[in-house]
A and B are shown apart, each in its own frame.
Chain A
């Protein structure tokens, strides 16, 4: 079983991303579980979300304590809380940042896994005109982790977003997904 923990702020599409990844994995025949951690609901409050993906039905029902992957959708959370708590040594830390991965590698000197960054907020501004970084960071995540392929994720993204948004926003997000996939830097 693969466990992905998402850290972000309410309004950044963190829950949507956690669900979307699970849905795309389900399309490839995996068992999935995804859920957010709700506190007091207000825009800008720190939130976490969880995605579990497995070959067998997933029976445990609590927050992810020892993730394989940590995705930090809002870099201002680093330092404000221990986003890497329990992160497996063989795991991945992915941060939405205009900085390179070496900056974050230096912040977690004991961590042995992969560190990656992508400027997801800038990509979102370029592609959809709004600073909602969830989809570009998703592109980066699937590139670094190989959880699902771009070909698996894109149709799910279109399906999910077409129900809610106009074509321009859907196409903007597809473009953002691909840019995140291409522009992620790994160390």
Chain B
């Protein structure tokens, strides 16, 4: 069925279809409507979810964590300062293998206060151990939400997951979206697999929140790091099953006209769509350009990035966030790390764009591709980091 809903309403509808056991949330712009609409479903008796209206995001994630460790299917939604306020609990959720799915309508961080689209919030969570899916369109946000449940809860995974889409640009936009029937969603996700250990299993009492010092902490951490190696296979399995159900195919990355592309733009979320239209326009002028869109950002798909960029001569990474005091934006650092030991590697440049909701236009993306061509002539991106669409 085709619907025209604001993406936040659409995601609330997906949550209704998923019908988690527990949602604990503290609404924040620009994902407020996800929580607002879902709480109406609860109030109307459309779902049996235990909705916990808490007094802060830190409490929201704490409640989600306890519920998840007891074996419940758990979701929440947040953005920006809200995700930042969850920071401490994010680490605990990931290391405790609590498969909570958190919706994030990506928004800039303060100061100055800004409510608009920017990737600083989820980029700030990149070292917390949460898995991350990113979405170009409302359709992808809906599809990722449903797939995230099945990925996160898989016994081979059992990690929490952020489902990202751009604040306002996507969260408050209406696009043509194909939705599933409620029972299709419920059959697809099935019941949450019973956890090996449960907080409420009084027959088999277990310790949670344990202490591990010099003697065992490092082994815990190594075991956690190893566990991410299973994730990509599960992401692909779930994507295959979802394609059978819907006809919509997803991968870890999305290649757009990469086969013969000399200059490649790496993008995430809504700007990837604008980049595809720009590529089509530039190809008409005979330019060999392409887009690499990152769907799975955590775990970072190193091998897939290497494979996708193996024929590229220049790669422009678009960052919608910045690492202050660091060498470049966060996505650039990840891509550069993936490429660093390759014998043959493209020139790499970083392009910081669209901070705080500033539009990323076709003209700006053309400008980035132009800079890529200039780098090919000069033999390097100089400077390494370029701020695009900013007043000097």
**A residues with CB within 8 A of B:** 19, 22-23, 26, 31-36, 38, 57-63, 65
Contact = CB atoms under 8 A, between A and B. Distances in A.
A147 B173 CA distance: 20
A60 B274 contact: yes
Interface in B137-177: 137, 166, 168-170, 172-176
A60 B362 contact: yes
B176 A61 contact: no
Given A26-B2, A38-B115, A59 B277 contact: yes
A61 B271 contact: yes
Most A CB contacts (10 A, CB to CB) among B116, B166, B172, B271 go to B172
Given A35-B168, A35-B169, A60 B176 contact: no
Contacts of B274: 59-62
6 contacts: A32-B174, A33-B175, A61-B166, A61-B173, A61-B274, A62-B274
Which of A32, A35, A58, A62 has the most CB atoms of chain B within a 10 A radius of its CB?
Answer: A62
Interface in B266-280: 270-271, 273-274, 276-277
Contacts of B270: 61
A170 B58 CA distance: 43
Contacts of B173: 33-35, 61
B346 to A, nearest CB: 25
B174 to A, nearest CB: 5
B127 interface: no
A63 B359 contact: yes
A34 to B, nearest CB: 5
B4 interface: yes
B128 interface: no
A37 to B, nearest CB: 9
B362 A32 contact: no
Contact of B169 (A26, A57, A58, A61): A61
Interface string B332-358: 000000000000000000000000000
Contacts of B6: 19
A62 B116 CA distance: 13
Interface string B109-151: 0000001100000000000000000001100000000000000
Given A38-B168, A60-B274, A61-B271, A19 B174 contact: yes
Given A61-B169, A61-B270, A22 B359 contact: no
Nearest to A23: B4
Nearest to A61: B270
Given A61-B166, A61-B271, A62-B359, A19 B4 contact: yes
Interface of B: 2, 4, 6, 115-116, 136-137, 166, 168-170, 172-176, 270-271, 273-274, 276-277, 359-362
A62 B172 contact: no
Nearest to A38: B168
Nearest to B363: A65
A57 B277 CA distance: 11
Contacts of A23: 4, 174
Nearest to B30: A38
B206 to A, nearest CB: 47
Given A26-B2, A26-B4, A38-B115, A61 B273 contact: yes
Contacts of A19: 4, 6, 174
A156 to B, nearest CB: 9
Nearest to B172: A35
Contact of B174 (A33, A57, A59, A63): A33
Contacts of A36: 172
A57 B276 CA distance: 12
A127 to B, nearest CB: 25
Given A38-B168, A61-B271, 18 more contacts: A22-B4, A23-B4, A26-B4, A32-B174, A32-B175, A33-B175, A35-B172, A59-B137, A59-B273, A59-B276, A60-B273, A61-B166, A61-B170, A61-B173, A61-B273, A61-B274, A63-B359, A65-B361
A65 B362 CA distance: 11
Contacts of B176: 26, 31-33, 57
A60 B362 CA distance: 8
Nearest to A58: B175
A184 B175 CA distance: 29
The 8 closest A-B pairs by CB, nearest first: A59-B273, A35-B173, A61-B270, A62-B359, A23-B4, A34-B174, A60-B274, A59-B277
A36 B270 CA distance: 16
A24 to B, nearest CB: 9
